[in-house]
Amino acid sequence: MLRTFEAVATNKDQRRSVPSVTSVLQDAAIVKLVKRYGGPTVTGWVRNAVASLRTALTGASDNVNETDDSAMFRIVADVIHHAHQQQSTRMRRLVNATGVILHTNLGRAPLSDAAVAAIEQISGGGNIEINTSTGVRSYRGHQLQPLWHALTGCEDSLVVNNNAGATLLTLQSLCCGREVVISRGQLIEIGGSFRLPEIFEMGGVTLREVGTTNRTQLSDYENAIGPNTAAIMKVHPSNYRVVGFTSEPEIEGIVEIARRHNILAIDDIGSGSLVDVTKYGLPCEPTFQDSLNSGADLALGSGDKLLGGPQAGIILGRADLIATIRHHPLARCIRVDKLAMAALDATLNAYQLGRAEKEIPVLELLSASMDSLWSRAKQVAAAIGATRDDLRLDVRETTAAVGGGSVPGVEFPSVAIFCEGGGLTTESIATALRTGSPGLMTRIQDDQVVIDFRSIRWRDDADVVSAVRNVSAG
């Protein structure tokens, strides 16, 4: 009985060593956190840390000897840990050194300077839904129509939040309750478990699959058309490729069949390109111009892929069809916001002025010569200089990818700095670069950290130097 009493008494003494919330908030390290994260947030962390330590000491064994100083240290360390956790989950800038130009997890296309400036300019307010000439309310996106017409020849346009939304809205507003014919090889799934058949179902459309996974003929489309058919839809397989014994009709043939049967031809080109990327040594990707010039009633695509703008779903085509889509109730649910509209306006303006390759980062990265990549990589490696414990840097040729659901399965040449050693594991180097300031997102290849310059804008080279130096300095 005496031992039990002594144990309880000891535990009570241990709990007395736990400082009060007020005293912890006066600690110098905690005061700094309050300035950064705010008093209420940090106070909550402190209360939780104090309560956790009290709970832990309640069941502590007799040989635990918690002092006032050690208790304070444990609580402060716990609070700092929570602060680091919150900081790591907040939005922050990362330099894309992965070699994947359109990295979905990093936000796909980097925006041009003009797009960023346009966002800042419109952030306070602007002519989002008003015609400044007449003072009359207008639809969102009317400002872009002259640009879209000049670049593609389309009669009208509509911009929504992303291409999945554009697909759903188009199907529901024009084809609901009817059949849409599509090649079996185009029933894609993209990131986030987005499956095209499920979009058809949500749109109230009956999916009519034709052909096989690897081969679909024009006759397959023709034979599938019936009295309840609303459209033929062609979807560009933007995140995979089928090679070997394959066949897939071009949009021109599909348009001809649709015209003959008085149904719609809808072309989802995926990447939203406005330029011929074959000049960069890449396989041909469909463009809005090609689709509309081939007679497609509607062409759908993304804004943040090869177009090089903000996230958006773009619908171009016949004015009567766009008007029907625009007035559907779902259009308001998935409309684009003013910031994306401003960025898209600036992006399209660069194309109209013939400055896209110089001003739009995606095209700048695609068009960069190997000589320029070699020169930059060597200069960066030299600027990093000596590193601690022999962290070795080696400049070598490698391969990069477009990514982001564009030009699938195709790699093209690049130059990278390969890092290893320094008494650090490959994972720890990559983690330190990723979580450092500036943050650098790399890839791991052959147990080395790869800093690939195909996806790094030249203006970020100085940040690459700082990031690696910070890691080498410990």
Lowest mean pLDDT among 58-62, 74-78, 110-114, 266-270: 58-62
Average pLDDT of the residues in 150-171: 95
The whole-number pLDDT of residue 365 equals 96
- Does one domain contain both 148 and 177? yes
Highest average pLDDT, of 86-100, 291-305, 419-433, comes from: 291-305
Which residues are CB-neighbours of 440 under 8 A, at least 6 positions away? Answer: 94, 95, 97, 433, 434, 451, 463, 464, 467, 468
d(CA 472, CA 386): 9
- Does one domain contain both 372 and 335? no
437-471 confidence digits (pLDDT tens) = 899 999 999 999 999 999 999 999 999 999 999 88
Within 297-385, residue ranges assigned H as helices are 319-326, 329-333, 338-352, 356-359, 361-367, 370-384
* pLDDT over threshold 60, residue 63: no
The whole-number pLDDT of residue 3 equals 41
Q: How many CB atoms lie within 10 A of CB 59?
A: 8
The whole-number pLDDT of residue 96 equals 97
The whole-number pLDDT of residue 241 equals 59
* pLDDT over threshold 50, residue 24: yes
Q: What is the mean pLDDT of the chain?
A: 88
Average pLDDT of the residues in 236-259: 76
Average pLDDT of the residues in 92-106: 94
CATH assignment at residue 454: 3.90.1150.180
Query: Backbone phi, then psi, for 270, in 5-degree steps?
Result: 80, -80
- Does one domain contain both 205 and 218? yes
The whole-number pLDDT of residue 67 equals 73
d(CA 210, CA 208): 7
Please identify, among 310, 343, 359, the residue that sits at the C-terminal boundary of a domain: 359
More confident residue, 22 or 242: 22
Within 271-337, residue ranges assigned H as helices are 288-293, 319-326, 329-333
* Predicted structure pTM score: 0.87
More confident residue, 459 or 140: 459
- Does one domain contain both 280 and 221? yes
Lowest mean pLDDT among 36-40, 65-69, 310-314, 390-394: 65-69
* pLDDT over threshold 90, residue 326: yes
351, with CB counted inside 10 A (0-12, 13-18, 19+), is buried
Average pLDDT of the residues in 26-54: 92
d(CA 47, CA 52): 9
More confident residue, 185 or 205: 205
- Band (pLDDT 50/70/90 cuts) for residue 5 is very low
d(CA 4, CA 10): 10
- Does one domain contain both 231 and 161? yes
- Band (pLDDT 50/70/90 cuts) for residue 411 is confident
- Does one domain contain both 315 and 377? no
Average pLDDT of the residues in 43-61: 85
Cis peptide upstream of residue 249 (ω within 30 degrees of 0): no
The whole-number pLDDT of residue 87 equals 78
- Does one domain contain both 164 and 259? yes
d(CA 408, CA 239): 5
* pLDDT over threshold 60, residue 249: yes
* pLDDT over threshold 90, residue 424: no
The whole-number pLDDT of residue 190 equals 66
- Band (pLDDT 50/70/90 cuts) for residue 422 is confident
Radius of gyration of the chain (CA): 29
- Does one domain contain both 133 and 251? yes
The whole-number pLDDT of residue 13 equals 53
- Band (pLDDT 50/70/90 cuts) for residue 193 is low
The whole-number pLDDT of residue 2 equals 38
- Does one domain contain both 351 and 399? no
d(CA 28, CA 233): 64
The whole-number pLDDT of residue 60 equals 60
Q: At what angle do helices 39-58 and 28-37 cross, to 10 degrees?
A: 130
- Does one domain contain both 39 and 60? yes
* pLDDT over threshold 90, residue 389: no
**Number of structural domains, the chain?**
3
* pLDDT over threshold 90, residue 305: yes
Nearest residue to 365 (alpha-carbon basis) of 414, 434, 421:
414
More confident residue, 314 or 196: 314
d(CA 154, CA 274): 13
Please identify, among 40, 55, 89, the residue that sits at the C-terminal boundary of a domain: 89
- Does one domain contain both 142 and 213? yes
Lowest mean pLDDT among 66-70, 178-182, 268-272, 332-336: 66-70
More confident residue, 102 or 4: 102
- Does one domain contain both 81 and 122? no
CATH assignment at residue 243: 3.40.640.10
Domain limits for position 49: 2-89
Nearest residue to 314 (alpha-carbon basis) of 126, 166, 420, 114:
166
d(CA 5, CA 9): 6
Average pLDDT of the residues in 37-53: 92
* pLDDT over threshold 90, residue 15: no
Which residues are CB-neighbours of 202 under 8 A, at least 6 positions away? Answer: 168, 172
Please identify, among 35, 56, 89, the residue that sits at the C-terminal boundary of a domain: 89
- % of the chain with per-residue pLDDT over 90: 63
The whole-number pLDDT of residue 1 equals 39
Q: How far apart are the first and last CA of the chain?
A: 54
Highest average pLDDT, of 116-120, 185-189, 214-218, 402-406, comes from: 116-120
Contact assessment for residue 457 and residue 423, using Cβ atoms and an 8 Å cutoff: no
The whole-number pLDDT of residue 239 equals 54
